[in-house]
Amino acid sequence: MKTDARSELRRYITGAALSALLTAAAFWAVVSDGVTRGTALWIVGLCALAQIAAQLRFFLHIGAHTKREDLYLILFSVLLAGLMIGGTIWIMASLQTRMH
């Protein structure tokens, strides 16, 4: 039991440390003068994805052991959210270019 508690505590600490690290990296990319806007956006985006993955893994315990229906649920949600976000941006950008 005790080792369980310790290894689980370690998971949460790992998750928090990873999240803090990734957040710091994203902030650094924006604040630092040496990084161009394009690169900074890439770094921010990748850090965000990595941090979401880390929190899902270490805080929400999603991984290889979860039941497949839950993984499907999350993937399906991401698919639909992606369709809605991507579609909206595509449509409105096309509209915008033609309105000028």
Partner 1 sequence: MRTDPIFGRLDWSVTPFDDFAADPSLNEFVATAAAAMVPLGALAVIAFLTWKRLWGPLWRDWLTSADHKKIGIMYIVLAGVMLLRGVAEGAVMRTHQVTALDGGMLSAEHFAQLFSTHGTIMIFFVATPLVTGLMNFAVPLQIGARDVAFPVLNQVSLGLTAAGAGLVMVSLVIGKFGTGGWTMYPPYTGKAFSPGPGVDYWVWAIFISGIGSTLAGLNIAVTIYKNRAPGMRFLRMPMFTWTALCTSIMMVYAFPALTVASAMLMLDRYLDFRFFTNDLGGNMMQYANIFWMFGHPEVYIVVLPAYGVFSEVSATFSAKRLYGYNSLVIATMAIAVISFTVWLHHFFTMGQGANVNAAFGIATMIIAVPTGVKVYDWMATMFRGRVRLSVPIIYLVGFFFLFVFGGLTGVILANPTIDYQVHNSQFLVAHFHNVLIPGVLFGVLAGIHYWFPKAFGFRLHERHARWAAYLWFAGFSLAFLPLYWLGLMGMPRRAASYDNPAFEPVMWVAAGGAMLVVAALLLTLWTFYSSARDRAELACPLGDPWDGRSLEWAMPAPPPPYNFHALPYVKALDPFTIEKAEGTPYCAAERYEDVELPRNSALGLWIGAASGIMGFAMVWWIWWLAALGALAIIGGLIARAFVTDTTRTIPAAQVKRDHMAFLSRVRRARPVDRDKETAPANMGLADPEVPA
Partner 2 sequence: MTQAKHPGLNLGATHPEAHESSETPAFGFWVFLMSDLIIFAILFAHYVVMQDARAGGPGPEELFDLKSVAMQTALLLASSFTYGMVSLSMKHHDRPAPVMLWLVVTALLGAAFLGLELRDFASMIDEGAPPQRSGYLSALWALVGLHGLHVTAGMIWIGLMLALLALRGLTAQIKTRLLLLGLYWHFLDLIWIGILSVVYLGGLA
> Which residues lie near partner 1 (CB under 8 A)?
69, 76-77, 80, 83-84, 87-88, 90-92, 94-95, 97-99
Binding site for partner 2 (CB under 8 A): 1, 4-5, 8-9, 12-13, 15-16, 19-20, 23, 26-27, 29-31, 37, 40-41, 44-45, 47-48, 51-52, 55-56, 59-62, 65-67, 69-70, 73-74, 77, 80-81, 84-85, 88-89, 92-93
Q: Categorise residue 30: left if φ over 0, alpha if ψ from -120 to 50, beta otherwise.
A: alpha
Partner in contact with 99, chosen from partner 1, partner 2, none, beta carbon below 5 to 8 Å by kind: partner 1
Cβ proximity to partner 1, 1 vs 99, nearer residue: 99
CA distance 31 to 37: 11
